[in-house]
């Protein structure tokens, strides 16, 4: 007879404490169904790369390999290809940033840049301030480095500077070390809102007063539907703002090319950190992006993306206005991929998800975008991938699901709210979920 049983994982007692939250998620398993064609997925954030001219890209890539294959298939610099870094300056000029190519570090998507910045800045227990709600991928990085994440209230105009100052004062009084303020001022993921210029200045004023390093994440900045590009915070504050950029939404997410722009001292450390993480970003992808920027009409292509997403945003908002039950509200994004929906009081978006999957529609429950259990009555809808007619059908289904949930609540009353549980970042879709 066995003394000890089997746990089916011989390493279970050897993992770092931070791995304890890396567990199976019932919610994440439901997203597996989202990949089925019958399901209208308003869950994932996959860019609509079908809008690219793939034949043109194929020709460009083939030419690049023929002419520079030996470089493209070789190791490269840990900081990234020098010519691409020059080109990135041109892209950043669109959001008002003037910089030096020496201060750009090319990364494997901006997610890696985020990881490097946190690695360089944060010890376990250090505080990172984030918006309410915030990007789930960033929350995962902060958690991985054992940071204490503190949400700061956000409203229609974005991060509230008064609340930010109060939070900073409170935390300093408590003896906490605040290392970063992470913010997505343009076309926020998941909230779908954009900070106006004056609000950005107010936030920067608070940052200056408290010597806060601001980590500005700007993957959607060029995707404004009115064609106007919000001026980046980094454009007005080169010393305290670290800027994260990405080609995932403006060219293609599969290339995995992003960057971080940082002051000299920080940049030196980021390069060393990057080399220890991946040696160098993919030379193949960097040269592909570089070739694309040099030879293809990339600004026109971004306009195509903008028009595509605007049509889809309109389909989503128009149909929600027609069909969503009373008491449902949502943000009106002027760019980017997402709208943030607040459900009628009492509905829990996480508990509702299985019913939604039954009805062949998927979304991301709001709790995934907070570290502290907020977001039960909220959810994120993404309109970037499904076609407008599918979005209309998806909202029709979702409205029916919310109606059923209201019916259940009417039956069982406010006690039917599910009990609090620990947030689980696996409760959000994997990157390749539509």
Partner 1 sequence: MQVVILAGGLSHERDVSEKSGRRLAEALRDIGHDVVVRDTDADLLKFLADTKPDVVIPMLHGAAGEDGTLRDVLTSLDLPYVGSGPDACRVAFDKPVAKSLVAAKGINVPSGVALPHTTFRDLGADAVMKAVLNQVGLPAMVKPARGGSAQGATIVTEANQLPSALVGAFAYSEVALIEKFIEGTEVAVSVIETEDGLKVLPIVEILPDSGFYDFHHRYTAGITEFFCPARLDAAIVKTLEDAAKVIHSTLHLRDFSRSDLIVDKQGEVWFIEVNVAPGLTETSLFPQSAQASDTDLGAIFDTLIKMAVKRGK
Nearest Cα residue to 120 out of 42, 189, 215: 215
Q: Should residue 263 be labelled a site residue for partner 1 when binding is judged by CB under 8 A?
A: no
Q: Calculate the alpha carbon distances from 213 to 17, 143, 275, 349 in Å.
A: 28, 18, 23, 34
Q: How far is CA 156 from its chain centroid?
A: 18
Site for partner 1 in 350-369 (CB under 8 A): 351-355, 357-358, 360
In DSSP notation, 320-342 reads HHHHSPTT-EE---SBSSEEEEE
Dihedrals φ, ψ of 28, to 5°?
Answer: -60, -35
Of 3-11, 291-299, 320-328, 384-392, the window that binds partner 1 (rule: CB under 8 A) is 3-11
Dihedrals φ, ψ of 304, to 5°?
Answer: -65, -45
Least Cβ distance, residue 359 to partner 1 (angstroms): 11
Q: Should residue 23 be labelled a site residue for partner 1 when binding is judged by CB under 8 A?
A: yes
Least Cβ distance, residue 367 to partner 1 (angstroms): 15
* DSSP code, position 231: P
Site for partner 1 in 34-63 (CB under 8 A): 36-39
Q: Should residue 379 be labelled a site residue for partner 1 when binding is judged by CB under 8 A?
A: no
Distance CA(391)–CA(397), nearest Å, equals 10
Distance CA(207)–CA(179), nearest Å, equals 11
Site for partner 1 in 396-425 (CB under 8 A): 407-413, 415-419
Q: Which residue has the tokens 């106006």?
A: 196
Q: Should residue 29 be labelled a site residue for partner 1 when binding is judged by CB under 8 A?
A: yes
Q: Which is nearer to partner 1, 36 or 177 (CB)?
A: 36
Q: Which is nearer to partner 1, 172 or 410 (CB)?
A: 410
Q: Which is nearer to partner 1, 97 or 433 (CB)?
A: 433
Q: Which is nearer to partner 1, 26 or 307 (CB)?
A: 26
Least Cβ distance, residue 381 to partner 1 (angstroms): 19
Rounded to the nearest 5 degrees, what angle is found at the Cα of 191, between the Cα atoms of 186 and 197?
30
Q: Which is nearer to partner 1, 8 or 70 (CB)?
A: 8
Q: Which residues bind partner 1 (CB under 8 A)?
A: 1-2, 4-9, 11-12, 23-26, 28-30, 32-33, 36-39, 351-355, 357-358, 360, 407-413, 415-419
């Amino acid at each position: 007879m066995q003394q000890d049983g089997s746990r089916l994982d011989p390493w279970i007692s050897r993992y770092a404490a931070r791995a304890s939250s890396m567990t199976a998620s019932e919610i994440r398993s439901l997203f597996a169904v989202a990949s089925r064609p019958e399901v209208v997925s308003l869950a994932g954030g996959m860019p609509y790369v079908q809008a690219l001219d793939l034949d043109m890209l194929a020709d460009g890539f083939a030419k690049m390999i023929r002419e520079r294959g030996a470089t493209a298939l070789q190791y490269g610099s840990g900081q990234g290809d020098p010519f691409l870094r020059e080109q990135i300056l041109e892209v950043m000029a669109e959001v008002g940033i003037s910089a030096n190519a020496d201060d750009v570090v090319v990364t494997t998507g901006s997610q890696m840049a985020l990881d490097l910045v946190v690695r360089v800045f944060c010890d376990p227990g250090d505080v990172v301030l984030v918006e309410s709600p915030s990007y789930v991928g960033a929350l995962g990085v902060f958690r991985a480095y054992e940071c204490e994440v503190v949400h700061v209230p956000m409203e229609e105009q974005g991060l509230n500077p008064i609340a930010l100052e109060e939070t900073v004062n409170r935390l300093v009084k408590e003896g906490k070390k605040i290392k970063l303020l992470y913010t997505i001022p343009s076309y926020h993921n998941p909230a779908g809102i954009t900070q106006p210029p004056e609000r950005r200045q107010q936030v920067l004023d608070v940052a200056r007063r408290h010597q806060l390093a601001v980590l500005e994440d700007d993957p959607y900045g060029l995707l404004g539907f009115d064609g106007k590009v919000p001026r980046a915070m980094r454009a007005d504050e080169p010393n305290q703002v670290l800027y994260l950029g990405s080609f995932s939404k403006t060219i293609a997410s599969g290339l995995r090319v992003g960057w971080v722009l940082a002051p000299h001292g920080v940049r030196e450390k980021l390069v060393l950190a990057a080399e220890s993480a991946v040696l160098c970003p993919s030379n193949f992808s960097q040269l592909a992006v570089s070739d694309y920027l040099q030879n293809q009409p990339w600004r026109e292509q971004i306009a195509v993306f903008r028009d595509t997403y605007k049509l889809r945003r309109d389909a989503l908002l128009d149909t929600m206005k027609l069909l969503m039950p009373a008491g449902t509200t949502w943000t009106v994004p002027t760019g980017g991929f997402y709208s943030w929906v607040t459900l009628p009081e009492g509905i829990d978006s996480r508990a509702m998800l299985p019913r939604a999957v039954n009805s062949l529609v998927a979304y991301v429950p709001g709790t995934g975008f907070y570290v502290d259990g907020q977001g039960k009555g909220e959810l994120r809808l993404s309109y970037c991938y499904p076609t407008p007619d599918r979005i209309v059908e998806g909202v029709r289904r979702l409205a029916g699901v919310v109606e059923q949930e209201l019916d259940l609540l009417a039956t069982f009353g406010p006690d039917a709210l599910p009990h609090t549980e620990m947030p689980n970042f696996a409760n959000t879709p994997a990157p390749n979920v539509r």
